[in-house]
């Protein structure tokens, strides 16, 4: 990977002030969608997570091929369950995040995505576990990160948002959940642009509280 230019901390970009209210309204509207009549309580959640950038596609870290760089993410997240299957341990959630990146570049990120949650694991009576997957979402950053620039130095603030997550809780305290998340921005195989950049990948750990 070519060397990355360090970027000094900057105040919030003017475009972020324009887009943040819109993204907030979109997230609020999605979170207020009615849940299934069979939904249980505690369909809302808030949480936080933090992670470090690695330089491969999401699957790379699972294969042990990721190289961690001096770029970090801290984020707040919120979700709302909008649908539950009546026959399967499957639910649909709307997940949103507001994050701050720092290290080699300083910027803010806003993202939202529909996320499927699968909770059908045989050991759930001992260790409640879920797998969450959101392949298609929207992510906006306040500047083009140098970590997302292609060989020509071009990039974009608007990319797809993808998340893969494993969650864990305790049988008596299911409203408290810890998770490990792969946080990914991408072009969807160059569908959004062909600047030749990978996007960004973070391995993160977090906590959320349902209410």
- For residue range 151-162, list pLDDT tens digits in order: 888 888 999 999
Instruction: Tell me what the mean pLDDT of segment 101-105 comes to.
Output: 97
pLDDT for 16 equals: 45
Domain holding 174, by residue range, is 40-210
Q: Phi and psi of 79, rounded to 5°? A: -145, 160
For the chain, what is the mean pLDDT? 84
pLDDT for 196 equals: 66
Contact (CB, 8 A) for 142 and 16: yes
Distance, C-alpha 73 to centroid of its chain: 11
Whether 168 maps to a domain, the answer reads yes
Instruction: Tell me what the mean pLDDT of segment 8-27 comes to.
Output: 48
Q: What is the value of pTM for the model shown?
A: 0.78
Whether 132 maps to a domain, the answer reads yes
Whether 4 maps to a domain, the answer reads no
pLDDT for 96 equals: 98
Whether 201 maps to a domain, the answer reads yes
Whether 14 maps to a domain, the answer reads no
Whether 20 maps to a domain, the answer reads no
Residue 65 vs residues 98, 105, 135, 137, 162: alpha-carbon distances, Å: 28, 23, 21, 25, 19
Whether 188 maps to a domain, the answer reads yes
CATH of the domain at 93: 2.40.160.20
**Residue 145: is it exposed, middle or buried by C-beta count within 10 angstroms (0-12/13-18/19+)?**
buried
Whether 85 maps to a domain, the answer reads yes
How many structural domains is the chain composed of? 1
Which of the residue ranges 48-57, 171-180, 200-209 would you say has the lowest mean pLDDT? 48-57
Contact (CB, 8 A) for 97 and 76: yes
Contact (CB, 8 A) for 202 and 58: no
Selection from 29, 99, 77, 100 nearest residue 178 by Cα: 77
């Amino acid at each position: 990977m070519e060397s990355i230019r360090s970027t000094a901390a900057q105040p919030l970009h003017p475009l972020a002030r324009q887009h943040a209210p819109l993204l907030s309204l979109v997230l609020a509207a999605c979170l207020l969608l009615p849940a299934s009549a069979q939904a249980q309580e505690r369909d809302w959640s808030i949480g936080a997570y933090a992670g470090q950038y690695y330089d491969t596609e999401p699957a790379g870290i699972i294969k042990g091929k990721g190289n961690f760089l001096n770029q970090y993410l801290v984020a707040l997240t919120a979700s709302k369950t909008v649908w539950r299957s009546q026959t399967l341990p499957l639910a649909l959630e709307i997940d949103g995040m507001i994050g701050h990146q720092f290290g080699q570049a300083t910027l803010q990120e806003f993202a939202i995505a529909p996320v499927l949650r699968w909770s059908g694991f045989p050991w759930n009576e001992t260790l409640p576990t879920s797998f969450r997957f959101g392949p298609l979402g929207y992510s906006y950053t306040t500047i083009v990160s140098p970590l997302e620039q292609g060989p020509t130095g071009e990039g974009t603030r608007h990319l797809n948002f993808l998340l893969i997550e494993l969650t864990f809780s305790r049988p008596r305290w299911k409203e408290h959940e810890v998770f490990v998340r792969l946080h990914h921005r991408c072009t969807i195989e160059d569908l959004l642009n062909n600047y030749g950049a990978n996007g960004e990948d973070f391995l993160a750990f977090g906590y959320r509280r349902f209410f």
